[in-house]
Amino acid sequence: MSENASPPTELFSAAAEPELNGRRCRACGYVFFPPQSYGCEYCGAPGDQLEPKALRGAGALASFATVHLHQGKDMEAPFTVGVIVLDDGPAVRAILTQRTDEGLKIGERMRAVIVETNSEGARARELRFRREETAR
Amino acid sequence: MKKTLRQMRPVYVAGIGLHRYQRMSDTPYVTLGLTAIREAIADAKIEWRNVESGYTGTAFIGMAASRPMLRHLGATGIAIAQVENASASGSTAVRQACLDVASGLTDVSLAVGVDKPGPIAGAPGKTNIHDLVGRRVVPFTHFALLANEYMNRYGATAEEVAMVAVKNNRNGANNPYAQRQKAVTLDEVLAGPPISGSLTRLQCCPVGEGAAAVIVVSDDAIDKLGIDRSRAIRVTASVSRSERVYRGAKNFDAELTRETVAQAYDEAQISPQELDVVELHDAFTIEELLYVEAMGLCGEGEGARMITSGAVDIGGKCAISASGGLLAMGHPIGPTGTGQVAEIARQLRGEAGVRQQPNARTGLAHMVGVGAVCVVHVLQKDS
Ligand SMILES: [Zn+2]
């Protein structure tokens, strides 16, 4: 990797109530996720104007789809992807904890959780979302 | 002062040609491309030595694709370049050829799209920006998510969305260049196999190999080379845009199309009601619903009804994807946008045979590239 390559940025904090590591543009106020430090997509302010902004892992489900065909070995189909509009603004795409879309309703409350994964022998932690009623 | 294409020298599509879109085979890309180009040259009734510049729209073949192909037409020393703009590569090649002629740099230019699926990774994956889903969300899931949202918002059913595949496969069954040339029933579409969300296999376009070529010319070339003016179709708008941040917009894909098409209408000085034929980016069924609305062919949320009403069938008010679209004709990436322009020109000439939209005079070709870019051309038959 070349020396000026930007290091991977942590996407979330692994607290009991995980937060997403968003960014906020000091110049225009634009709040976004995933984090990057190249420059503001909305106003063009350079990366040093992009400050960390923790986004609470809570929001409303805007869309979902159960994936039946997946070629990667990192995950076995079926699994379900959701679009969650965070209470703090941005919409994010995340894997849901439930494998299929059974019982899901657009508009319902969703909550972020940390999930331990073990794919191809590599342990990792992922941020996923689950329905708030099952999170209790 | 800024000018639109229409305010520059008139540009006409004078020749079109294709190699059938098909499943990956061991046919070299050179064969695919030359077949399309030779057909386009013969169609225009010109000679290769008349062509003054050439743009090759391709995404997967690799660096420097033009010369190894074009030299077999006779190495005439013309200006050549490769054009890569994701799925809109072929559309962008057409735009570059049009700009050459419109500006007066050339009288005859070639746009050829040619591709074979390959293992080249796209640059968006190399930004070192990661998200929560990575490669688990591929294009079919992106559009499955949009379908889910659309159906929920407007009360459209999975059957209504799937009807796009029924219509476009019916059209593709009559297109000798199409990868899928078989009409299918709604039951067959819905029967699966399931891919993602409500999208089944037949609601996702096949990605194969193929080629398409378009020769664009000036008025001078028409006179000088004795080109049949009655078969020359004017390009009255060529618009290319990329995605902005649409704060508050429900759907970025539809919004980019809405902006780009609006600019094309403005530059061509037409209204959506004047469109007789449209080729749009129906890589997935739901896209056709989103885009007919974004193009102003019907109101918001009325896309599903528009498709099922027959208004966009061949013979309806505006035939959409008479070629079969990406869903049936196929989506070999590089050629797709060039092939759309070829189909529109064929329709406006009245040479589309059993696929002919009656009295077609105004057409639009629309492509979206995962970049995210949108390229739109308006073609019109001189009255
Ligand atoms: Zn900003």
Burial B297-311 (b: 16+ CB within 10 A, else e): bbeeebbbebbbeeb
Q: Do A65 and B147 touch (CB under 8 A)?
A: yes
Any long-range contacts for B129-132 (C-beta under 8 Å, 24+ apart)?
B129/A9, B129/A34, B129/A35, B129/A36, B129/A38, B130/A8, B130/A9, B130/A11, B130/A34, B131/A11, B131/A33, B131/A34, B131/A92, B131/A93, B132/A11, B132/A12, B132/A34, B132/A92, B132/A93, B132/A94, B132/A95, B132/A126, B132/A127, B132/A128
Return the structure tokens found at A23: 């960014």
* Chain A residues touching residue B127 (CB < 8 angstroms): 36, 38
Query: At residue B35, what is the residue type?
Result: T
pTM to 2 decimals?
Answer: 0.96
Q: How far is the CA of A22 from the centre of ligand 1 (A)?
A: 13
Tens of each residue's pLDDT in chain A, 136 residues: 333 445 556 999 988 899 999 999 999 999 999 999 999 999 999 999 999 999 999 999 999 999 999 998 889 999 999 999 999 999 999 999 999 999 999 999 999 999 988 776 778 889 999 999 754 4
Burial class (CB in 10 A: 0-12, 13-18, 19+), A51: exposed
A95 interfacial to chain B (CB closer than 8 Å): yes
B254 CB-near residues (< 8 Å, 6+ apart): B290, B291, B293, B294
| Distance (Å) from CA B353 to ligand 1 centroid | 53
Q: How far is CA B181 from the centre of its chain?
A: 18
- Yes or no: say if A119 and A73 are a contact pair by the CB < 8 Å rule: yes
Rg (CA), chain B: 19
The pLDDT tens digits of the residues spanning B232-244 come to 999 999 999 999 9
Contact A86, A55 (CB under 8 A): yes
Between chains, do A72 and B149 touch, taking CB under 8 Å as contact? no
Helix or strand (DSSP H, E) at B292: helix B285-294
Model pLDDT, residue B65: 97
The answer for residues whose C-beta is within 8 angstroms of residue A122's C-beta and 6 or more apart is: none
B116 touches B22 (CB < 8 A): no
CA of B259 to the centre of ligand 1 (A): 22
pLDDT in tens, B97-126: 999 999 999 999 999 999 999 888 889 889
Tell me what pLDDT residue A3 has: 39
pLDDT digits (tens, 9 = 90+) for B209-257: 999 999 999 999 999 999 999 999 999 999 999 999 998 777 899 999 9
Helix B285-294 vs helix B158-172: crossing angle, to nearest 10: 90
Interatomic CA distance for residues B344 and B340, integer angstroms:
6
Q: Which residue has the tokens 């059993």?
A: B354
Residues of chain B positioned with their CB less than 8 A from the CB of A73: none
Q: CB contacts < 8 Å between A and B, how many?
A: 92
Measured on CA atoms in the order B253, B334, B233, B108, is the torsion positive or negative? positive
Host H or E run for residue B186: helix B186-190
Q: Chain A residue with minimal CA distance to B129? A: A36
- pLDDT score of A2: 39
Chain B positions touching A62 (Cβ under 8 A) are: 149
Q: Chain B contact for A91, CB < 8 A? A: no
Residues lower than pLDDT 50 in chain B = none
pLDDT number for residue A5: 47
Give me the pLDDT at residue A123, please: 80
Cis peptide before B124 (omega within 30 of 0): no
| Lookup: tokens for B192 | 């699966």
Handedness of CA B179, B183, B185, B191 (dihedral sign): negative
CA of B356: how far to CAs of B182, B241, B337, B343, in Å?
18, 30, 20, 10
What is the pLDDT at residue A133? 76
* Residue B175 contacts residue B328 (beta carbons within 8 Å): yes
Q: Which of B129, B131, B149 sits opposite A62 (nearest CB)?
A: B149
Question: Which residues are B209's β-sheet partners?
Answer: B22
A105, A122, B179, B366 from A118: Cα distances, Å: 29, 5, 40, 43
Token digits of residue B147: 């379908």
Name the helix (H) or strand (E) containing B82.
Answer: strand B79-83
Q: Do A69 and B193 touch (CB under 8 A)?
A: yes
- CB distance from B145 to chain A under 8 Å? yes
Terminal Cα distance for chain B, rounded: 29
Q: Which of B342, B291, B285, B352 is nearest to B21 (CA)?
A: B342
Token digits for B306?
Answer: 């528009």
Q: Which two tokens stand for residue B279?
A: 């080729």
Residues on chain A touching B195 (C-beta within 8 angstroms): 68-69
- pLDDT mean across residues, chain B: 97
Binary contact (B130, A94; C-beta < 8 A):
no
What residues have CB less than 8 Å from A34, skipping those under 6 apart? A9, A11, B129, B130, B131, B132
Task: Return d(Cα B18, Cα B285) in angstroms, integer.
Answer: 24
CB-based contact, A72 to chain B, within 8 Å: yes
Nearest Cβ partner for B136 among A34, A70, A101: A70
Q: How many CB atoms lie within 10 A of CB B169?
A: 24
CA separation for the pair A45, A26 (Å, rounded): 8
Q: Does A18 touch chain B (CB under 8 A)?
A: no
Q: What pLDDT was estimated at residue A15?
A: 85
Residues of chain B with pLDDT > 90, as a percent, come to 95
Task: Sort out which chain A residues have CB atoms less than 8 A from B128's CB and list them.
Answer: 5-8
